[in-house]
Structure 1
Amino acid sequence: MMLVHNVRLPESPEPVDVRIAEARFTQIGADLGVHDGEEVLDAQGRLMLPPFIESHIHLDSVLTAGQPEPNLSGTLFEGIQRWAQRKATLTVDDVKERVNRVVRQQAGFGVQFVRTHVDVTDPQLTALRALLELREELAEWMTIQIVAFPQEGICSFPDGRELMTKAADLGVDVLGAIPHFEFTREYAVESLNFVCNLAAERGLLVDVHCDEIDDEASRGLETLATRAYELGLGSRVTASHTTAMHSYNNAYFTRLLRLLQMSGINFVSNPVVNTHLQGRADTYPKRRGVTRVKELTEAGINVSFGQDDIQDPWNPLGTGNLRDVVFTGLYVTQMLGHEQIENSHRFVTSNAARTLGLGDEYGIEVGRPASFVLLDADTWSQALNWNAGVVASYRNGKLIARTEPVRREVLF
């Protein structure tokens, strides 16, 4: 048993106590008192949040920036070319070694749930086999959802449908697609129909790299939302990136919004990486290239944020700290109102939990697993401003990561 004393929750104006027993939250309230033999953790007024969730990353490509060549143009499409070169040299040991390092970095930043896209346009499915092994090996410390991601297309890649089906047979959690990279509009629609039908048959989730381009004529999203609506998939479907939406004319977006609300699908924005990749064909004015997070959120549609890439052909930087993603996202989407800031942790906590379909196994509520992080700050806005460290990360009542609080001294 453990009592977390003097802790702040986002919805609680005053500090409370949180009791844990048998790896579950059992009581939340003021001045609960200490039971005999109970471990006491004095939070000293720090903020407690449910664990951070990385809802969109490519773990198979982490730490490969510049291998064998750097992405000099900074575009999505050169990144795909550079990854194709590196993909040809993958081994299971190579993938597992890099991913093990990054997962531990993520854990240090309070991440306990990860949805990773894994490239399956590889006849050997090397990276997928490595991630399937790691999903089991790391399950005690990290929940990993695996997306079968066809980086070079389904209809436009040799045996693309067969590789996606094989990935489903091997035990992925989610099926993906990349309609804007298919050769034709017809192939784009066909690929989405294939993935949604296969997911419906297999009881799997769907997460599509959808319209990750500055071309406002790229409109795979309407097809994806329609399939989700007609097949009853709803919140089992996620549209990632949707950067073309940044360039949609408002008349079209207004019509599309009704369908998006009806469909019940989720969205994932990757503001750091898409700000870097998009707008590359522009001179000035130069588009930010990030989807309409504010408008989607105000319409009651679920949106979460992801890191996307860590030191790979699409992003030469990145550590896995989701604070950086939220901080950047608030600026580029112009969501810096007081309530918008204070609620923005939801992009990497509760909203992301809905995207991953975690249900009642996530959140700081009595009866749920005792998984949480303590931040070296008493409010979320303070944590954003000062890049506050995660002083403790607990998973099912067990400490899995910690950081010493920062001590600052100004000597004048």
Structure 2
Amino acid sequence: MLDLIVRNAKLPGQRDLTDIACQNGKIVETGPQLDASAAHEIDAGGLLVTPPFVDSHFHMDATLSFGLPRVNESGTLLEGIALWGELKPDLTVEAIKQRAWELCRWSIARGTLAIRSHVDICDPRLLAVDALLEIQKEVRPYIDLQLVAFPQDGYLRDPNAKAQLKTALDKGVNVVGGIPHFERTMADGAESVRQLCEIAAERGLLVDMHCDETDDPNSRHIESLSYETQRLGLQGRVAGSHLTSMHSMDNYYVSKLIPLIAEAGVTAIANPLINITIQGRHDSYPKRRGMTRVKELIAAGVPVALGHDCVMDPWYSLGSHDMLEVASMALHVGQMTGMDQMREMFRSVTQRGAETMHLEGYGLEKGCNADMVILQACDEVEALRLKANRLQVIRRGKVISEMPPATAKLDLDGAAHEVDCLLFRDNS
């Protein structure tokens, strides 16, 4: 007898319903009306079953610290960085872990079971590194947590960053990060990209750099990152996060830049909730949206993943780690309302994120990990429209979160109606 069968599932991009059979934490068979029995069976009833959501860019060390020691009144990136600097001396491993665990519980409830989190290494105590390495081990049964060594105060600008980044990598952080636009000069920014990529190449690690998170169209460090990726043979292992300066660049330069990114095999990670909130703060009207050119990057063949970036921290006072909210914001801001475009935004918080993190066993095919989310929606577009409830969240073949369907009961002059806003449900 199998451990679990999910029956009558609508898989992303498919019309026919499918059964998914799970044993020992793996998917062992898929197909219509499987002739098998299991200790636990779930009838999805024609609803969408997806692999878990993936957050490709997050800051778990700062999460849920909103209001400590004060609120970011200007809403700018730079005030957020300054505020985080004020908070760092008061951090403790216990406080970071407590907030991170609470966030992880939110993540599980939202079906977000893979997270790439940047962790600030510009604290001589490396408290956040130690705390998140502990969290990484503790949440492993539920969440794949990948950590990026992030020199928040600048790899060259902070005199201790080089040694501390090396120590963080030696401790077990396994992605190299950077923030070239926060260095003192454009030249220093390019040099930091070179040095950090060389460290990644020497150690065989992935790279994910905050790149050009600014409204300045002359911030062009993604160009340096693409060059170093090719020079060092890092194709497929490098991501440039934010890339918001591209929103403000002239079209001629972008027509050169995007093919360079594509040629280098660099992934772009946009963070729409934060990008549209932080960018354009110095504009009067019209105000720039700030999010990078997601539509154009995708059209050129550049893989695009999406991140939540922040939840209730010095940079963003909202959020619940809902990756459908992230994808919905991206398609609205990027004016990507074509059916294929909306489905691609769904992939940007699932499959593209898994590819960015190089996750093994991700998907709903035979042999993949038995990780999936049953959504109160009939397809990807409906899931985006409704920010669909996560009815069941399954990890390694076990249900680890359940949520009742969102249904309103109406009484209209004595006539009873139930409303769930689902437009179509195909139970065939």
- Scaled by the length of structure 1, what TM-score is found? 0.98
> Offset of 1:61 from its aligned partner?
0.5
Counterpart of 2:369 in structure 1: which amino acid? Answer: P
> Offset of 1:387 from its aligned partner?
2.0
What is residue 269 of structure 1 aligned with on the other side?
A: 270
What is residue 309 of structure 1 aligned with on the other side?
A: 310
CA deviation string 1:301-357 (max 9, x = no partner): 100111100001100111101111111111001101122123321011110111101
Counterpart of 1:235 in structure 2: which amino acid? Answer: G
What is residue 425 of structure 2 aligned with on the other side?
A: none
What is residue 377 of structure 2 aligned with on the other side?
A: 377
SS in 2 for 1:88: helix
> Offset of 1:39 from its aligned partner?
2.9
What is residue 33 of structure 1 aligned with on the other side?
A: 35
> Offset of 1:97 from its aligned partner?
0.4
> Offset of 1:44 from its aligned partner?
1.1
Cα distance between partner residues in 2 of 1:4 and 1:171: 37
Counterpart of 1:176 in structure 2: which amino acid? Answer: G
SS in 2 for 1:392: strand
4, 22, 25: which one pairs with 2:24? 22
Contact 2:27 2:370 in 1 (8 A): yes
CA deviation string 1:249-304 (max 9, x = no partner): 11111111221111101111000111000001111111001000000011111001
What is residue 167 of structure 2 aligned with on the other side?
A: 166
Cα distance between partner residues in 2 of 1:381 and 1:259: 31
Runs of 4+ aligned residues of structure 1 deviating over 6 Å after TM superposition are none
Cα distance between partner residues in 1 of 2:217 and 2:340: 31
**Alignment partner of 1:107 is 2:108:** yes
What is residue 137 of structure 1 aligned with on the other side?
A: 138
Which 10-residue stretch deviates more, 256-265 or 76-85?
Answer: 256-265
What is residue 219 of structure 1 aligned with on the other side?
A: 220
What is residue 251 of structure 1 aligned with on the other side?
A: 252
SS in 1 for 2:210: strand
Contact 2:346 2:384 in 1 (8 A): no
Counterpart of 2:122 in structure 1: which amino acid? Answer: T
Contact 2:154 2:178 in 1 (8 A): yes
Cα distance between partner residues in 1 of 2:344 and 2:283: 33
**Alignment partner of 1:411 is 2:404:** no
Q: CA RMSD in A?
A: 1.1
Alignment of 1:66-81 (within 5 A): 66-81=67-82
Counterpart of 1:54 in structure 2: which amino acid? Answer: D
Alignment of 1:347-362 (within 5 A): 347-359=348-360, 361-362=361-362
> Offset of 1:34 from its aligned partner?
3.0
What is residue 7 of structure 1 aligned with on the other side?
A: 9
What is residue 396 of structure 1 aligned with on the other side?
A: 396
What is residue 336 of structure 1 aligned with on the other side?
A: 337
Counterpart of 2:27 in structure 1: which amino acid? Answer: F
**Alignment partner of 1:157 is 2:158:** yes
What is residue 206 of structure 1 aligned with on the other side?
A: 207
Cα distance between partner residues in 2 of 1:341 and 1:94: 38
> Offset of 1:91 from its aligned partner?
0.4
SS in 2 for 1:339: helix
CA deviation string 1:17-63 (max 9, x = no partner): 1111222112211121233x543211111100001001111000011
Cα distance between partner residues in 2 of 1:3 and 1:93: 39
What is residue 367 of structure 1 aligned with on the other side?
A: 367
Counterpart of 1:377 in structure 2: which amino acid? Answer: A
Cα distance between partner residues in 2 of 1:237 and 1:387: 30
What is residue 418 of structure 2 aligned with on the other side?
A: none
Cα distance between partner residues in 2 of 1:311 and 1:22: 37
- Scaled by the length of structure 2, what TM-score is found? 0.94
Cα distance between partner residues in 2 of 1:27 and 1:67: 49
Identical-residue share of aligned pairs (%): 41
Cα distance between partner residues in 2 of 1:229 and 1:342: 30
Counterpart of 2:305 in structure 1: which amino acid? Answer: S
SS in 2 for 1:78: helix
Cα distance between partner residues in 2 of 1:406 and 1:185: 51
Cα distance between partner residues in 2 of 1:77 and 1:39: 51
> Offset of 1:404 from its aligned partner?
1.2
Q: Which runs of 5+ in 1 are unaligned?
A: none
Which 10-residue stretch deviates more, 378-387 or 362-371?
Answer: 378-387
Counterpart of 2:22 in structure 1: which amino acid? Answer: I
